[in-house]
Amino acid sequence: MTVDRHALQRVLDGRWAQVRNEIRAQMDELAFNPDPDLTTEEYRALTTENLKLLASTGRPRQGFDPAYGGGGDVGGVVTAFAMLGFGDLSLLVKAGVQWGLFGGAVQVLGTKHHHDAYLRQIMDGELLGCFAMTETGHGSDVQHLRTTATYDPETREFVVHTPDPGARKDYIGNAARDGRMAVVFAQLVTQGRSHGVHALLVPIRDEDGNPMPGVTIGDCGHKAGLNGVDNGRLTFDHVRVPREALLNRFGDVSEDGTYTSSIANETRRFFTMLGTLVRGRISVAGGACTATQKALALAIRYGAIRRQFADPATGEEVVVLDYLVHQRKLLPALATTYALHFAQADLVSDMHDLQTPGAEGDEWRQRELETRAAGIKAVATWHATATIQTCREACGGAGYLSANLLPALKADTDVFTTFEGDNTVLLQLVAKTLLSDYGRRVARLSPVGKAKFAADLVADAVVERTGARALLRRGDVTDREYQRWLLVERERHLLANAAQRMRKALAPGADQFGIFNGAQDHLIAAARAHVDRIVFDSFAAAVDRTTDAGVRDLLAEVLRLYALTVIENDRAFFIEHSYLTPGRAKTVTQAVNALCGRLRPHARTLVDGFGIPERWLECPLLEGEKEQPAAPPAPSQDDEPSDLASVG
Amino acid sequence: MTVDRHALQRVLDGRWAQVRNEIRAQMDELAFNPDPDLTTEEYRALTTENLKLLASTGRPRQGFDPAYGGGGDVGGVVTAFAMLGFGDLSLLVKAGVQWGLFGGAVQVLGTKHHHDAYLRQIMDGELLGCFAMTETGHGSDVQHLRTTATYDPETREFVVHTPDPGARKDYIGNAARDGRMAVVFAQLVTQGRSHGVHALLVPIRDEDGNPMPGVTIGDCGHKAGLNGVDNGRLTFDHVRVPREALLNRFGDVSEDGTYTSSIANETRRFFTMLGTLVRGRISVAGGACTATQKALALAIRYGAIRRQFADPATGEEVVVLDYLVHQRKLLPALATTYALHFAQADLVSDMHDLQTPGAEGDEWRQRELETRAAGIKAVATWHATATIQTCREACGGAGYLSANLLPALKADTDVFTTFEGDNTVLLQLVAKTLLSDYGRRVARLSPVGKAKFAADLVADAVVERTGARALLRRGDVTDREYQRWLLVERERHLLANAAQRMRKALAPGADQFGIFNGAQDHLIAAARAHVDRIVFDSFAAAVDRTTDAGVRDLLAEVLRLYALTVIENDRAFFIEHSYLTPGRAKTVTQAVNALCGRLRPHARTLVDGFGIPERWLECPLLEGEKEQPAAPPAPSQDDEPSDLASVG
């Protein structure tokens, strides 16, 4: 199997290859590895400079409405954003706050008035802003934020107010230093009635950078990472903004205070607003993917030159990536990274088709996109945290030095698992959507269909109890169809069982919280199983559409390892529910080991395929690539015979 | 079950309760949370100041030989060292370098001459030094270091030399800024023959702090964490030191260049030298344990006050630690932390009894101690990394702020998994020792015994294949004896199988490396299973010797959760090898959930039991403990009915 790394890169680059290549060229200008000894203030200033430089490339415009000079290329801008993950992640996050969250909210929650007034300045980075949703007391449960925006018909103004310390806006990017304006999420109150959370544009600093009257700005200070981003806190003391400050696409207040909305149900309205902001979540997943790729490129290339311990037969020191346990640490993670890359690319592509200005809206597709975005964000960011950690450890002491780039990757991406939606909460959302879709499907069945459905559940339980299922469907665990069957069945099984458990909550007087809580781990497992399966499907589709035979064969092997990794990690489930016999489960582990060995010679090609500009990987860790000394150890004069195997 | 936290703390404090209490008092004086915005140089200077302050308490003396004014309390000083893990970990590591590694090497590898000349200055922190073992090219395989120390009988000196860039001493604590002297490990050459690695005392800086002639000192620069420690690099260009610089307890060179040693075999001699340094490894495990305890105290106390999402029945927001998935994140980790605490305490206690000056040496006990230290170090440091990460995530955005202490805990302990022995390499060492002990046991059997042994292996395979084993031994997965049976059988099984596989390497012409490498993951699994079992035994013994009934009952529940956690994580193994039926395996997960619920009310008591001085936990994260607002959310006016359970 010979594989051309450029052909592989083209497959990975996919639909926005052009954008990726432009960013690769532009990043060369932006390039910097911030000195880790910068103070927080110096690093923030540097990041702001880089943000302006980025604005001057015109790249951020590409995501906005062409009517205001934007490029309308939603998918391209999200792809470009993710590419910043190869560089400094503070810049990535600061750009995400400015153009994704702040600019994105103005674009999708605002109307012509707001677009006319602000979009151009936002695109060009002249007006820096914040996305002030999270409060100290409410991070995940944002429907219950406590900041209020009360309409005063006398003056035709909204009064934005922080009623208690828990309602303080917290962890807000761009707040501590640079932001002039904030999109503030608050409970909208008019004519004595609350209409749920809405967003308003509130100036927070004047021209000279001083806080506006009534606005108190705090600083979150030093963080575990991302110290180029100025996270801060905002407190409002009866701050007045004009009626037009309301981003009024989904709900408006007339001059006399009458509230109107195209969406009558308050909860549905709120989640529709949130849904339009899905781009942020997709962008975080993209950043997590590229950061993971960079960490793997470093660790795998180092593993291919680092030698330790001699082969007793040759006396020559062994390259550490030739050790099975080292392969086991890195190659399944690499396979999963490939799988997530393609799943993320599909997500971006579908979002582009759905959100491109002028595209036809479709509630079902939007809902599916949001669910998928939530699931992939959770899985991709946890994968990033775990994999970057593994890469650091795989590089030993060298991986701990800031000069070798891994420490910043680790520290900066750490918060990805809890921002833009806490991962556990996101997976719960995914489970909730899956369950209600499931419920609707069942509800639509005819009476006969319902009876058959119930009978099938009983039969399923029987076949599981007797262990017959695993005998009914035999297969080779390395076979793609068999692998998919396992992933599909796991998803179906967990979902059906979760639905049965949650059904009890409908009984009169049921302890709803108790039932939900007792099944919470089960719900999360169902959501994960769903995400694993859709990620598999994205990857499989990518393999099938690959025309270069060498690349296709290699990707098929990587897909195989990805699926085996998922199955191996949860093989207890498959045995417990009789999808695998204990004997066949053991072959999974053997197959993973064998595949690691088969992919080892392609490890370098696989990380080269990510197309990370070489300049962004330059560090002392990889200096050895230039020399590659054979480095045979001085053999001891009288080595003890190894007593490793002295049995019997 | 009512439990007195002080009674619980007394059980955890154990044999060195007195020392722990003294340190708790002393730490109040030392107390500081370094400003995260200090430059590397400022932080190093501060840590050096703190080191001197620590020396002035006289505490570090306690570990040294009473003949030189030390306290001879080996266990006490290691306990005290670990307590520093509640504070700033840079100070912990710097103290470990100075007194554990540098001072420890002089004490155990040197002889009277070295003790007379240096011990007092080292104890008092007047002479700061380095432990220069690791080289750029050799970290794990330290037997093949390449620095040389060649004896010159003409001048009666050793010539210490770095022959190539890979032989540079790297990551050496105290080297970049403070160290005046280094214990340098080098291949000893005399009369044209190499005798393997030995240690020599080499001055690296003069009185004014300038490098000595021939010594080049580099700086490792900024790291992921531990930036108060000045890690650096040492290169020697034919540096001459007197013959007496050799730490000559295990090997010496006479004036004429004749080499003598009480241990003829070079490999055995080297590992004997290394073995005396076991204290460092034990100390790292201790630091990992206390750091984990601190992280759990923060996350569990925050989880007990942080509210998010309302209970639909009451409308009141739920404390996040009441959610099953939150308990699942923190409580099994807490149980494992308890288990490791007791295993570590036993390790320290046994080391004390073995190493106290004047104690009778015993090769077998020393070897068992080294093996146990290696295993517990690996398991405890991986547990620390994973648990502190989980704690950070469990605190959301607040956990990412440096002010809330978790970022430093995470960053500082990260390197623990790879320093003082890479964890994977350490577990391999454990496996190797277990295998050779196993081989010796089998070899000692009579011919009849050997035949029976072989027959048992065959019977074992049959009983596994038929699945009969799980039916032969039924039990309740929450029963301690049954849990122990599972842990013991797993260890036995993995070891026996590993031995069978490695036996093939003895065949003539066998591909030794291939056989070893193919079984490497199996060997690591066997080592882990061994460590899990001995940790269980330590914890169980601690439960049994507890006299306070309330504390004992609570600890028994925690032990139960620890065992269940181990079994749950590896339940695929137990089913695959027919130790559990699939049906009984499912009850493991149910039992973990049930135990989490039962331990929830005791979570605060359990973290209070660690006895972490309150002052060291003070941070904004826990400020809410003072207020505890009820915080009911504003209910939406027209919430959609949940369609979570709308099945059928």
Which tens digit of pLDDT belongs to each residue from B282-307? Answer: 999 999 999 999 999 999 999 999 99
Q: Which residue in the block uniquely carries the two structure tokens 């699942």? A: B328
pLDDT > 70? residue A179? yes
pLDDT > 60? residue B130? yes
pLDDT of residue A458: 80
Average pLDDT over residues B554-559: 98
Contacts of A139 in chain B (CB under 8 A): 308, 396-397
Q: Which of B376, B358, B356 is nearest to B368 (CA)?
A: B376
For chain B, how many residues are written? 648
pLDDT of residue A27: 78
| Percent of residues, chain A, with pLDDT higher than 70 | 95
Write the pLDDT tens digit of every residue in A50-85. 999 999 989 899 989 899 999 989 999 999 999 999
Residue A585 phi, psi dihedral angles, 5° rounding: -60, -35
Contact yes or no for B222 and A268 at CB 8 A: no
pLDDT of residue A31: 59
Question: What is the average pLDDT value for chain A, to the nearest integer?
Answer: 92
Contact (Cβ atoms closer than 8 angstroms) between residue A194 and residue A220: no
pLDDT > 50? residue B226? yes
A306 to chain B: nearest residue by CA? B137
Q: Within the 63-122 window of chain B, which residues sit less than 8 Å (CB to CB) from chain A?
A: none
pLDDT > 60? residue A224? yes
CA distance A300 to A298: 6
Secondary structure element (H or E) that encloses residue A150, with its range: strand A148-152
Q: Within the 581-620 window of chain B, which residues sit less than 8 Å (CB to CB) from chain A?
A: 582-583, 585-586, 589, 593
Contact (Cβ atoms closer than 8 angstroms) between residue B621 and residue B399: yes
Contacts of B634 in chain A (CB under 8 A): 144, 146, 187, 194
Write the pLDDT tens digit of every residue in A510-532. 998 999 999 999 999 999 999 99
pLDDT of residue B506: 83
Q: Which residue in the block uniquely carries the two structure tokens 């369609």? A: B643
B607 to each of A215, B82, B612, how far by Cα in Å? 39, 17, 9
DSSP string, A565-589: HHHHHTHHHHHHTTSS-HHHHHHHH
Average pLDDT over residues B308-322: 94
pLDDT > 50? residue B645? no
Contact (Cβ atoms closer than 8 angstroms) between residue B413 and residue B370: no
* Nearest 10 degrees: Cα torsion B433, B437, B438, B443: 140
pLDDT of residue A269: 94
String of b and e for B357-390 (b: at least 16 CB within 10 Å)?
eeeeeeeeebbebbbbbbbbbbbbbbbbbbbbbb
Q: Which of A563, A444, A440 is nearest to A495 (CA)?
A: A440
Contacts of A410 in chain B (CB under 8 A): 224, 414
pLDDT > 90? residue B443? no
Q: Which two tokens stand for residue B466?
A: 């038929």
| Percent of residues, chain A, with pLDDT higher than 90 | 82
Residue B187 distance to chain A (closest CA, Å): 10
pLDDT of residue B362: 82
Tell me which of B30 and A543 has the higher pLDDT: A543
- Specify the 3-state DSSP secondary structure of B271: helix
pLDDT of residue B648: 31
String of b and e for B457-477 (b: at least 16 CB within 10 Å)?
eeebeebbeebebbeeeeeeb
pLDDT > 70? residue A618? yes
- pLDDT category, B391, cuts 50, 70, 90? very high
Q: Which of A422, A542, A247, A408 is nearest to B224 (CA)?
A: A408
Tell me which of A273 and A232 has the higher pLDDT: A232
pLDDT of residue B358: 72
Of B138, B171, B521, nearest to A593 by CB-CB distance is B521
pLDDT of residue B640: 43
- pLDDT category, A628, cuts 50, 70, 90? low
B419 in contact with A, Cβ within 8 Å = yes
pTM attached to this predicted model: 0.95
Contact (Cβ atoms closer than 8 angstroms) between residue A339 and residue A538: yes
- pLDDT category, B31, cuts 50, 70, 90? low
CA distance A275 to A601: 44
Burial label for B184, CB within 10 Å (0-12, 13-18, 19+), is buried
The contacts of residue B101 (CB under 8 Å, 6+ apart) are B131, B173, B183, B277, B280
B-interface mutation test, from A329, A400, A504, most B Cβ less than 10 A away: A400
Residue B279 distance to chain A (closest CA, Å): 20
pLDDT > 50? residue B539? yes
pLDDT > 70? residue B255? yes
CA distance B417 to B288: 9
Question: What is the average pLDDT value for chain B, to the nearest integer?
Answer: 92
CA distance A136 to B356: 53
CA distance A378 to A383: 8
Given the DSSP bridges, would you call strands A259-260 and A252-253 parallel, antiparallel or unpaired? antiparallel
pLDDT > 80? residue A216? yes
CA distance A50 to A229: 12
End-to-end alpha carbon distance in chain B: 43
pLDDT > 50? residue A17? yes
pLDDT > 60? residue B629? no
pLDDT of residue A635: 46
Number of CB pairs, chain A paired with chain B, less than 8 A apart: 331
pLDDT of residue A627: 72
Q: Would you tell me how many other CB atoms lie within 10 Å of the CB of residue A601?
A: 10
pLDDT of residue B448: 87
Q: Which of B288, B198, B195, B182 is nearest to B236 (CA)?
A: B182
pLDDT > 90? residue A644? no
Tell me which of B522 and A355 has the higher pLDDT: B522
Tell me which of A508 and A176 has the higher pLDDT: A176
End-to-end alpha carbon distance in chain A: 43
Contact (Cβ atoms closer than 8 angstroms) between residue A78 and residue A347: no
pLDDT > 80? residue B159? yes
Average pLDDT over residues B490-506: 92
Of B40, B407, B571, nearest to A224 by CB-CB distance is B407
Contact yes or no for A644 and B516 at CB 8 A: yes
Of A450, A505, A637, nearest to B194 by CB-CB distance is A637
The ipTM value here is 0.94
A-interface mutation test, from B457, B626, B636, most A Cβ less than 10 A away: B636
Helix A480-503 / helix A549-569 crossing angle, nearest 10 deg = 40
Contacts of B319 in chain A (CB under 8 A): none
Contact yes or no for A396 and B422 at CB 8 A: yes
Amino acid letter for position B529? A
